[in-house]
Amino acid sequence: MQRTEVTTKETIKYRFPQDFWWGSAASATQTEGAANEGGKGKNIWDYWYEQEPNRFFNGVGPEKTSRFYETYQEDIRLMKELGHNSFRMSISWSRMFPEGKGALNQEGADFYNKVIDEMIAAGIEPFVNLYHFDMPLAMQEIGGWENREVVDHFVSYAETCFRLFGDRVKKWFTHNEPIVPVEGGYLYNFHYPEIVDFRKAVQVAYHELLSNAKAIEAYRKLGGDGQIGIVLNLTPSYPRSQHPQDVKASEIADAFFNKSFLDPAVKGEFPPLLVDILREYDYLPKMEQGDVETIKNNTVDLIGVNYYQPRRVKAKEYLPHPDAPFMPERFFDNYEMPGRKMNRHRGWEIYEKGIYDILINLKDNYDNIECFISENGMGVEGEEKFRDENGMIQDDYRIEFIREHLKWMHKAIQEGSNVKGYHLWTFMDNWSWTNAYKNRYGFVSVNLDQNAERTIKKSGYWFKSVTENNGF
Ligand code: BGP
């Protein structure tokens, strides 16, 4: 493997606080591979791929992904080489409990024990997430998050993880982007079970929230001495204009997609605007006695913020058809701002200041809760064409992307934001759900044609210098 050092001779203009968390994030299904090995049960991705391989870019499924299950030692060594002091992974529920409940798969527990130990030995703090889109199939068969029983099974699984790994893991996360399974699975058809049903969507969101609160409660009951939080994709909703109808549209979009999880997770309360809408249209979820207290009393210690793109909205141009299925878009239209900067590979706008706006919002309206950027990154298709004669991918666009976001983060810190770190999505190229290996996000490239060979990209070396200097 070719290694060309990237040296930065610049003087440090953007210095970050001491002990800043530098690292990256990944998830089990996207990296581990070995989907049918080591006693793992099937999850919805394994199943969906069997049923509809055409839904996945180039027909590539989750069975092998980036092979972290076999190569974790080498990968952790590379993380260390790139200056990581922390890394967020997720545990696969169906690797721990093949049926989602019942007997523990000891081989699964052994694997995570080895990974955690290996990271700690390398001086990398493991941040561990319990749910990253990967419902065990057996749980989906009884309704997944639609079914309240699944909340209890999730909490039992979480408790097992706290018991087995909590002596070494001090940063826990219940969910990654819990709005995404709602959007993908129950509104917009990009996750299994491909249902379009607003009532179910609301119930799914509610049960995810309840499972967050109950898992936090369990952690504290067990005497957990670390921190427990949730990772949310906080997508700022910018109105097209300051016209009151545009502003109102953006407030509603914000209530649906950000405050829906942020308010209950941090404040233990539901956003009034969302509750009013759900009540008016008769879509309030089924709740049980005691739930409100459980949610109120079990709020998070910290928030992971995933930020990729802003949401831009405008007042509706046309009234929705009265018989159309109920969707959040009944209240706003998405708005394509002329002149916006795009990552065309992913179809996402790049708006670096969004990261600052999120952090200032958390500071001003959420008691400046401790947080970190838990994902941010740039997926690019066809990166092989940027490989130079020494075999290194010259991803200057990624360096620029990260650098510009870090500058805005730095400004937020100077203004008092309680942001503690920055994790890139992702460490090495991995499997992106239905996009499979279309867009590459890693500091490290994974060559699927060469036995998943890893090579560090230019951005990886650049990041190493940032971590060493604690700034740039
Ligand atoms: C986030 C997810 C990640 C990751 C990332 C990039 O929503 O938490 O799992 O996949 O987005 O998105 P994509 O893979 O769809 O390009």
Query: What are the structural domain ranges in the chain?
Result: 9-469
Residue 343: phi and psi, rounded to 5, are -95, 100
Q: Which helix (H) or strand (E) holds 295?
A: helix 291-297
pLDDT of residue 322: 87
**Which residue carries 């400004």 as its tokens?**
411
Which atom from ligand 1 is nearest to the alpha carbon of 180? 7
CA–CA separation, 152 and 43 (whole Å): 18
Which residue type does 452 have?
A
One pLDDT digit (tens) per residue for the chain, 472 residues: 445 545 454 689 999 999 999 999 999 999 999 999 999 999 999 999 999 999 999 999 999 999 999 999 999 999 999 999 999 999 999 999 999 999 999 999 999 999 999 999 999 999 999 999 999 999 999 999 999 999 999 999 999 999 999 999 999 999 999 999 999 999 999 999 999 999 999 999 999 999 999 999 999 999 999 999 999 999 999 999 999 999 999 999 999 999 999 999 999 999 999 999 999 999 999 999 999 999 999 999 999 999 999 999 999 999 999 899 999 999 999 999 999 999 999 999 999 999 999 999 999 999 999 999 999 999 999 999 999 999 999 999 999 999 999 999 999 999 999 999 999 999 999 999 999 999 999 999 999 999 999 999 999 999 999 999 999 9
Q: Own/partner pairs for 114-123, CB < 8 Å, 24+ apart?
A: 114/72, 115/72, 115/76, 115/89, 116/165, 116/168, 116/169, 117/168, 118/72, 118/73, 118/76, 119/76, 119/79, 119/87, 120/168, 122/76, 122/77, 122/79, 122/80, 123/80, 123/85
Q: Exactly one of 37, 375, 404, 453 is catalytic; which is it?
A: 375
**pLDDT in the model for residue 11:** 86
Q: Are 44 and 134 within 8 A, CB to CB?
A: yes
Query: Which pLDDT score, from 0 to 100, does residue 441 have?
Result: 98
- List phi, psi (to 5°) of 399: -60, -45
DSSP 228-257: EEEEEE---EEESSSSHHHHHHHHHHHIII
pLDDT at 8: 52
- The answer to pTM > 0.85 is yes
Confirm or reject: Cβ of 27 under 6 Å from ligand 1: yes
288 catalytically annotated = no
Using alpha carbons only, give the angle 262, 265, 270 rounded to the nearest 5 degrees. Answer: 70
Determine whether the shortest distance from the Cβ of 90 to ligand 1 is under 6 A. no
What is the DSSP annotation of 102-148? SS--HHHHHHHHHHHHHHHHTT-EEEEES-SS--BHHHHTTTGGGSH
Q: Are strands 342-343 and 439-440 parallel, antiparallel or unpaired?
A: unpaired
Distance from the alpha carbon of residue 377 to the mean position of ligand 1, in angstroms: 9
**Predicted confidence (pLDDT) per residue in 296-348, tens digit:** 999 999 999 999 999 999 999 999 998 999 999 999 999 999 999 999 999 99
Residue at token pair 């709005």:
179
Residue to mutate, 131, 375, 381, ligand 1, most ligand atoms under 8 Å from C-beta: 375
d(CA 350, CA 310): 8
Strands 371-375 and 237-239: unpaired
Write phi, then psi, for 126 (nearest 5 degrees): -80, 125
Type of residue numbered 78: L
**Pairing label, strands 342-343, 371-375:** unpaired
Per-residue model confidence as pLDDT tens digits over 244-297: 999 999 999 999 999 999 999 999 999 999 999 999 999 999 999 999 999 999
346 CA: nearest ligand 1 atom: 16
CB of 435 within 6 A of ligand 1: the answer is yes
For ligand 1, is residue 304 a contact (CB within 6 Å)? Answer: no
Tokens of 403: 């650098």
* H or E segment and range at residue 444: strand 444-447
CA–centroid distance, 393 to ligand 1, in Å, is 21
d(CA 260, CA 265): 9
- Domain 9-469 coded CATH 3.20.20.80: yes
Atom of ligand 1 lying closest to residue 439 CA: 16
Please state the separation of Cα 248 from the chain's center in Å: 28
Determine the residue of 190, 433, 441 to mutate for testing ligand 1's pocket, defined as the one with the most ligand atoms within 8 A of the Cβ atom: 433
Q: Sign of dihedral through CA atoms 22, 214, 108, 428? A: negative
Centre of ligand 1 from the C-alpha of residue 308, in Å: 9
Which amino acid type is present at position 330? R
